Structure 1
């Protein structure tokens, strides 16, 4: 049986403007000067070596390309954005203002911001890491203007016929005869006296065809036109190639030629699959190693976006993440049978294309009241499955490894369960791990260090086991007897011709279970073993269990634990 090739890289997501901030004296709605902000120089060789040591292979740096902000960098060629169409002092990382530039506030010298970005990228590559950059193709900032565009490039909307609601070669959608109105109830941290004027109003990024979107809409962005007439049955005009397609291809070429390794494509499913089928092969012709990751939430479209669109990886949110979250929260309806349903739906060629995670910037933090704060160590079985179920990539979000709670109120972001994207702030646990540039975690609590150790050992295990990197998968749930706790314990095999592993995970937060795992004849035949002998290789056990001086017992799986057995 031919072994599969490895896709098992480990992504570390950085909310970039927060990542390097060491300031602890923070003001509600504070500016970048007042509250502090990451500089490209903060991503030093020492920092990168510390991240590489943790097992990360790719850095997903969220919020590098220049987006709308309330900060004033007009002295450096970046026009001031109107505060009524910016979310928070920092602004949304997904309201792109200049596709050909980086945020001036990330540079020690804003006039040399691109040079500082390029120097950081060189350091990342020199440390053996790869950079994933956001590509936001569905929408951009309402006041888009590029002061850094290459010669011959025209800004989006320059040649639009604004008296038409739709034209295949317009870059935007318009509402002729209207004027844009700021959402009702929007509070601005920066006072303004001059109103924002937009005539005619453009359609907002989340397909809101209204001159006055709500404050919960993507009001700070405008929808890009890919040649789909939404107001007339979504009729498509893809031949000749729409101008928007050509402009965004140029953007991808620009960043690819700078050495960016991967693109995380924001809300990729809101952009027609035909566009991806057009641009992705062209970028891979320039740099075959560049990978494309799609943020996508509609499973019925997975096949198209992988096999027609050409994406390398898709977010596995509506699938494994949702199933694991139910188990971690111990909801009454939660069952590990949901995991079986996930892999069945993603079987065949799908599994290696799924990027899996337990946290990202959109989801609530694990250690928050609305998730698993009551039982942080439910992370162990869930993350083992996230990392080991198949051989697609895994993603971590900065602070996750320390149990970040994100319980501070920053400004625009008032939810005490997510790290802010929109404010100049910090990530408190991560800040203590950085320890003023030592990157040694000396200021972490005992429990935070224990959680960090779990992630470190798990990633070390993942990197060291060919069966996890590139092996086959076999779900054992169906073969277990009536004594097996099928709602709480999940068992599966990962194997190559030379290495075979049995992995068993217990999601019960209270009860231990004796292990009597049945490995059926079909599985033994596929692994080419006649008799099964198990040896415990790795035990991931919560510290509360270890604190009772209980040594791992191969026949007994403690609460919220995961065992890896070698099969010989």
Structure 2
């Protein structure tokens, strides 16, 4: 898939976005702590998100997952608190893949229509829509209420007398009943509040394997006990009960992968997820974010993603894969568009933001990713990671500014931000199951900094402090530049080590590199030090200027973030230099004007 300009994904936790209730009682009910709705994403809200410099919006937590709220009057069965995390439930314990979370609807009976209307509003605002698909596991109480005609529920036709059969959707522990975990760390479902179903029991006969692969009838408290693992035709001994991909197909496009699988008999779970994604594409969804994709065989991804691309060649396919040794397989064999660049880039930048990492590591990481750099989505926050402003991470949103410039401009890959990141949300709430430093995805809570921006659903930043307004303005300037830049979809060359060797006053708390296309020449330089200012003559090496076809002379330099500079680029005997002064945490995106 080719994108002419960079993509920017805005991940928003749908349940929390429009919640104006400022009560943050641990384990608070939906009435006590409030909940946002699909309808809160108004034309104004979506326009403001788009104008931030966003191209895609990932609505996290849309598929109907297990919740505690009582919706039996709408024909939805209650969920047992003993197998639900938090009071609001985990978005990654999907209960019904053909409908949406009833919490998010004004009228739960009309919930799917309300989400369809949100898809349409998002498209009208110029945003493409991404939702979650969680292929590795489903809620223990999976129950499809609105399946299309002929669609069987997960497990409906399983032979539960055996641990494994290729076309079973789940793995079983014959002869043993499921038992709830022994609660630890002072944890009790619903925070210990008495509730009829919170009795330490959940009926499942026979017990199924748990989502993270535990084969115990009584999973551990730290297992994904609220979910069951989906069977893709991988036998309990790890051998595969389906066709292998032929040698060389990793070099072929999705059409070749589609042709390979066409007409082949594949495990039932493969077909179920193919049908699920086709259903959402037909409703207007533009792409998917796949949870824990590396826990599902790469051959399935070849099958699924090629089917998706045949239906919509421009579908945006993003996967969570944390093992760098698997990156290339999941991109080339699994036909993923993008993977999280967590273990390499994110972890390196996090160490620098925390004060003990060196910028020297970033060019090394980027060199190692050179062949797949376009496919490695960059982020500094998401629902799994600590908020930058959390005391347990950087302790200040300002420390994220140079990191954000680097994350957004280092490669041709998409950039992702998490709602509230642009106003410095610290994730400080004790929400119940979810603990501070990460905005909880399990509880009903308000998100204070974000709420000040939403300003009672005016979505105008009316309650933000001046520092928060400035922070959002920085994000808006940066992201809008990135989505319009040719150079950021072009070439890259690090000039960091050249400057460490040849520039007085330049060190490992600064980073610099060049990005360019035929029409645009950029130099990015960032100061990661929160205390120290820098003044130096940044050097541009001869081989870079030869690639740019720029000869000796004086050239204008502009900072694309905040405007004109007093400096110029001086090229003498083939080597260039720009006199710069960098305040603490300051970055420049310098464009060179011939």
Please report how far the alpha carbon of residue 35 of structure 1 lies from its aligned counterpart in structure 2 after TM superposition. 2.1
Change (3 A) 1:532 1:115: farther
1:341-375: CA deviations, max 9, x gaps? 11111102x111111110000000101111111x4
Tell me, yes or no, if structure 1 residue 363 matches structure 2 residue 385.
Answer: yes
Q: Report the counterpart of residue 160 of structure 1 in structure 2.
A: 158
Tell whether the 8 Å contact from 2:481 to 2:560 is kept in structure 1 after alignment.
no
Tell me, yes or no, if structure 1 residue 339 matches structure 2 residue 340.
Answer: no
Q: Report the counterpart of residue 263 of structure 1 in structure 2.
A: 288
Q: Which moves more between the two structures, 42-51 or 134-143?
A: 42-51
Change (3 A) 1:55 1:532: farther
SS of the equivalent of 1:143 reads coil
1:311-350: CA deviations, max 9, x gaps? 111111111111111000111xx111210111111102x1
Please report how far the alpha carbon of residue 554 of structure 1 lies from its aligned counterpart in structure 2 after TM superposition. 4.7
Q: Report the counterpart of residue 239 of structure 2 in structure 1.
A: 235
Equivalent of residue 308 in structure 1, options 323, 327, 333: 333
Please report how far the alpha carbon of residue 244 of structure 1 lies from its aligned counterpart in structure 2 after TM superposition. 0.5
Please report how far the alpha carbon of residue 168 of structure 1 lies from its aligned counterpart in structure 2 after TM superposition. 1.0
- Tell me, in whole angstroms, the C-alpha distance in 1 between the residues paired with 2:296 and 2:495: 39
Tell me, yes or no, if structure 1 residue 65 matches structure 2 residue 63.
Answer: yes
SS of the equivalent of 1:443 reads coil
Tell me, yes or no, if structure 1 residue 353 matches structure 2 residue 375.
Answer: yes
- Tell me, in whole angstroms, the C-alpha distance in 1 between the residues paired with 2:560 and 2:528: 15
Alignment of 1:255-294 (within 5 A): 255-294=280-319
Change (3 A) 1:532 1:103: farther
Q: Which moves more between the two structures, 248-257 or 191-200?
A: 191-200
1:503-536: CA deviations, max 9, x gaps? 1111122222222222222212222222374544
Q: Report the counterpart of residue 189 of structure 2 in structure 1.
A: 188
- Tell me, in whole angstroms, the C-alpha distance in 2 between the residues paired with 1:352 and 1:484: 33
Tell me, yes or no, if structure 1 residue 398 matches structure 2 residue 434.
Answer: no
Please report how far the alpha carbon of residue 250 of structure 1 lies from its aligned counterpart in structure 2 after TM superposition. 0.6
- Tell me, in whole angstroms, the C-alpha distance in 2 between the residues paired with 1:236 and 1:5: 35
Please report how far the alpha carbon of residue 31 of structure 1 lies from its aligned counterpart in structure 2 after TM superposition. 2.1
Change (3 A) 1:77 1:556: same
- Tell me, in whole angstroms, the C-alpha distance in 1 between the residues paired with 2:370 and 2:552: 27
1:437-470: CA deviations, max 9, x gaps? 21111101121111111111111222333212x2
Tell me, yes or no, if structure 1 residue 198 matches structure 2 residue 198.
Answer: no
Equivalent of residue 214 in structure 1, options 198, 214, 220: 220
Tell whether the 8 Å contact from 1:133 to 1:264 is kept in structure 2 after alignment.
yes
Tell whether the 8 Å contact from 1:83 to 1:192 is kept in structure 2 after alignment.
no
Change (3 A) 1:87 1:192: same
Q: Report the counterpart of residue 538 of structure 2 in structure 1.
A: 517
Please report how far the alpha carbon of residue 131 of structure 1 lies from its aligned counterpart in structure 2 after TM superposition. 0.7
Query: Where do 5+ consecutive residues of structure 1 fail to align?
Result: 542-552
Tell whether the 8 Å contact from 1:142 to 1:222 is kept in structure 2 after alignment.
yes
Please report how far the alpha carbon of residue 539 of structure 1 lies from its aligned counterpart in structure 2 after TM superposition. 7.2
Change (3 A) 1:110 1:532: farther
Change (3 A) 1:488 1:382: same
RMSD across aligned C-alpha pairs, in angstroms?
1.7
Alignment of 1:135-174 (within 5 A): 135-174=133-172
Q: Report the counterpart of residue 513 of structure 2 in structure 1.
A: 492
Tell whether the 8 Å contact from 2:5 to 2:485 is kept in structure 1 after alignment.
no
SS of the equivalent of 2:471 reads helix
SS of the equivalent of 2:189 reads coil
Please report how far the alpha carbon of residue 260 of structure 1 lies from its aligned counterpart in structure 2 after TM superposition. 0.3
Tell whether the 8 Å contact from 2:34 to 2:444 is kept in structure 1 after alignment.
yes
- Tell me, in whole angstroms, the C-alpha distance in 2 between the residues paired with 1:312 and 1:7: 15
Q: Report the counterpart of residue 525 of structure 2 in structure 1.
A: 504
SS of the equivalent of 2:512 reads strand
Tell whether the 8 Å contact from 2:96 to 2:144 is kept in structure 1 after alignment.
yes
1:60-109: CA deviations, max 9, x gaps? 11001000011111221221111100001110000000000001111111
Q: Report the counterpart of residue 386 of structure 1 in structure 2.
A: 407
Q: Report the counterpart of residue 80 of structure 1 in structure 2.
A: 78
Equivalent pairs counted in the alignment come to 546
Tell whether the 8 Å contact from 2:538 to 2:579 is kept in structure 1 after alignment.
no
Tell whether the 8 Å contact from 1:355 to 1:394 is kept in structure 2 after alignment.
yes
Q: Which moves more between the two structures, 172-181 or 254-263?
A: 172-181
Q: Which moves more between the two structures, 553-562 or 394-403?
A: 553-562
Tell whether the 8 Å contact from 1:408 to 1:416 is kept in structure 2 after alignment.
yes
Tell whether the 8 Å contact from 1:380 to 1:540 is kept in structure 2 after alignment.
no
SS of the equivalent of 2:459 reads coil
Q: Which moves more between the two structures, 260-269 or 282-291?
A: 282-291
Please report how far the alpha carbon of residue 26 of structure 1 lies from its aligned counterpart in structure 2 after TM superposition. 4.1
Tell whether the 8 Å contact from 1:479 to 1:520 is kept in structure 2 after alignment.
yes
SS of the equivalent of 2:332 reads helix
Tell whether the 8 Å contact from 1:367 to 1:404 is kept in structure 2 after alignment.
yes
Tell whether the 8 Å contact from 1:539 to 1:562 is kept in structure 2 after alignment.
no
SS of the equivalent of 2:537 reads coil
Please report how far the alpha carbon of residue 478 of structure 1 lies from its aligned counterpart in structure 2 after TM superposition. 3.0
Equivalent of residue 230 in structure 2, options 224, 236, 239: 224
Change (3 A) 1:7 1:236: farther
- Tell me, in whole angstroms, the C-alpha distance in 1 between the residues paired with 2:292 and 2:517: 36
Tell me, yes or no, if structure 1 residue 475 matches structure 2 residue 494.
Answer: yes
1:156-181: CA deviations, max 9, x gaps? 11111112111111111111221211
